[in-house]
Structure 1
Amino acid sequence: MTRLLQIEAIKLWNNRSSRILIIAYFVLLTSIALIAAIKFDIGPIQFHLADQGIFNFPYIWHFNTYITAWFKLFLAIIIVSMMANEYSNKTIKQNLIDGLSKKEFILSKFITVVVFALISTVFVFVVSLVLGLIFSDYNEVGIIFSDLEYLIAFFAKLVGFFSFCLFLGMLVKRSAFALGFLVLWQAVEGIIYGLLVWRTSKSLADTVHQFMPLEAMASLIKEPFSRLGAVQSVANQLGEEFSKDYAIHFSEILIVLVWVAFFIYASYWLLKKRDL
């Protein structure tokens, strides 16, 4: 397993574009700390974003995992490019000639996906912990380390998304087309959902929609903004009430893991069937 990871690390680090994107991605993960510096005055009102409770434990785990999950598109570009380069540079054929089995080849890609997701999760944990210790109003150990399941959901979300990108890279073999297919698939899920709402019922549409790959990944971590005390207060004054379920559910993680297994097996099946 270490040998397979070393092979992928050498390929990625020797590619200038991949190296730049990887560095940019982790810089962006760290730069979420800059949110704490956002301050502005509106007349006599002074607004400091960090004072709004976004860095309070345990809310920070929810907020930061939701925000940083948007940066995964940087690694998506790397993963689909990684597969496209294997075909365009003929390295996939050379690896197989040198003794790497097709199963080991796909396993090396999957290990890379898992490592990217794991390092990202550790990064978010460390940055969130530091920000929380600086800005949170609640510093009891029990509160600090509650709601860590958001990190588990974040990890599962990244593994699922990167596995999907790996499959698309294997399927299309061109990075631009693979990314285009990713956008197209997002639209397809939305169209299917809309048709189900129109032809059946919203409850049935929601049930079916939660099993679609991108929606399953997206719904792992719900938007955190309506949990903020300020938003809740404004809603109460307007006579509105939020009854949203923000919890992480094992069943939702399981759906994503099933898609991960499907994407990895489908990638392996495509590799076995293709004449390289």
Structure 2
Amino acid sequence: MLRLLTIEFHKLKYNRASKVLSIIYFGLLTSIALIAAIKFEFGNFKLHLADAGIFNFPYIWHFNTYIAAILKFFLLLVIVSMMSNEYSYKTLKQNLIDGLSKKEFILSKFYTVIAFAGISTVFVFVVSLVLGLVYSDYNEFAIIVSDLEYLLAFFIKLVGFFSFGLFLGILVKRSAFAIGAMFVWLIIENMFRGYLFWQFNENEHTSNTVDKFMQFLPLESMTNLIKEPFSRLGAVRSAANTMGETFTKSYSVDFTNILIVSFWTFVFIYLSYKLLLKRDL
């Protein structure tokens, strides 16, 4: 494993675009801390986001992993360009000539995906822990370590998403087309959602029925791992209550979603390997 990772990071070391995108990505993760400085003032109404509870333990684990997951497209560019460069610079063929098997080649890419996801998770953990210790109103150890499953969900989500990108990179061989294919698939999933709403004749139970079908699709299952955290915020709930609205949504990390995303991860890596086996390189 270490040998394969060394080979991949050696390639990335001399890829300027990948280094720039990685720096931008981790820079943006760090910039989550800047949210603490945001203040809104409308006449007598003043809102300081850091005082609104977004950095309170354990809510911060949910909020930060959700925001950080939005930035995953920067590392997706690194993953797909890493694969397209193998074809453009003939390094894939050279690696195979030098004795690397196709299975080892795919594993080297998958290990890189896991490494990126792992580093990102640790990075978000450190940033969140520091922000929480500075701004949280609750610093008891039991509270700090609760809801850490959001970090696991974040890791699983990144591994699944990057594995999808890796598969598309192998399938179409060009990074721009791979990214385009990802968005096309996103559109297909949303069109399928619309079809299901039409098929089930929208009513009060239709949304739950549609969600039960949609949860098995790759991008939707990844989205479901970390649900939006904003309606969970105390200030939002209070405002909703004054308008007679109540939230009954579950925000917890569902183990079923973890299994579904893990299944798709296996499928993407397996298909990548089978695709590589069939190709004449």
With the length of structure 1 as denominator, give the TM-score of the two structures.
0.98
Distance in 1 (alpha carbons) for counterparts of 2:37 and 2:231: 22
Which residue is equivalent to 1:83?
83
Counterpart amino acid of residue 37 in structure 2: A
Could you tell me how far 1:200 is from its partner in structure 2? Answer: 2.7
- Correspondent of 1:238 among 237, 243, 255: 243
Secondary structure in structure 2 of the residue aligned to 1:233: helix
* Segment drifting more, 253-262 vs 35-44: 35-44
Which residue is equivalent to 2:277?
272
Which residue is equivalent to 1:71?
71
Counterpart amino acid of residue 50 in structure 2: A
Which residue is equivalent to 2:32?
32
Structure 1 consecutive aligned stretches of length 4 or more whose deviation exceeds 2 Å: 200-205
Distance in 1 (alpha carbons) for counterparts of 2:44 and 2:28: 33
Distance in 2 (alpha carbons) for counterparts of 1:57 and 1:205: 33
Distance in 1 (alpha carbons) for counterparts of 2:106 and 2:178: 17
Could you tell me how far 1:125 is from its partner in structure 2? Answer: 0.4
Distance in 2 (alpha carbons) for counterparts of 1:182 and 1:113: 17
Could you tell me how far 1:205 is from its partner in structure 2? Answer: 2.2
Which residue is equivalent to 1:126?
126
Distance in 1 (alpha carbons) for counterparts of 2:150 and 2:141: 17
1:62-211 aligned at under 5 Å gives the runs: 62-200=62-200, 202=206, 203-211=208-216
Which residue is equivalent to 1:53?
53
Could you tell me how far 1:40 is from its partner in structure 2? Answer: 3.3
Report the aligned-residue RMSD: 0.8
Secondary structure in structure 2 of the residue aligned to 1:219: helix
Counterpart amino acid of residue 276 in structure 2: L
Secondary structure in structure 2 of the residue aligned to 1:41: strand
Distance in 1 (alpha carbons) for counterparts of 2:44 and 2:267: 56
Which residue is equivalent to 1:249?
254
Q: Deviations over 1:177-199 (max 9, x none)?
A: 11000000000001111111211
Structure 2: gaps of 5 or more residues: none
Distance in 2 (alpha carbons) for counterparts of 1:140 and 1:170: 47
Q: Deviations over 1:142-167 (max 9, x none)?
A: 00100000000000000000000000
Could you tell me how far 1:214 is from its partner in structure 2? Answer: 0.1
With the length of structure 2 as denominator, give the TM-score of the two structures.
0.97
Distance in 2 (alpha carbons) for counterparts of 1:204 and 1:165: 29
Counterpart amino acid of residue 48 in structure 2: H
Structure 1: gaps of 5 or more residues: none
Sequence identity, in percent? 67
Whether 1:220 and 2:253 are equivalent positions in the alignment is no
Counterpart amino acid of residue 152 in structure 2: I
Distance in 1 (alpha carbons) for counterparts of 2:94 and 2:101: 11
Counterpart amino acid of residue 99 in structure 1: G
Counterpart amino acid of residue 88 in structure 1: S
Could you tell me how far 1:204 is from its partner in structure 2? Answer: 3.4
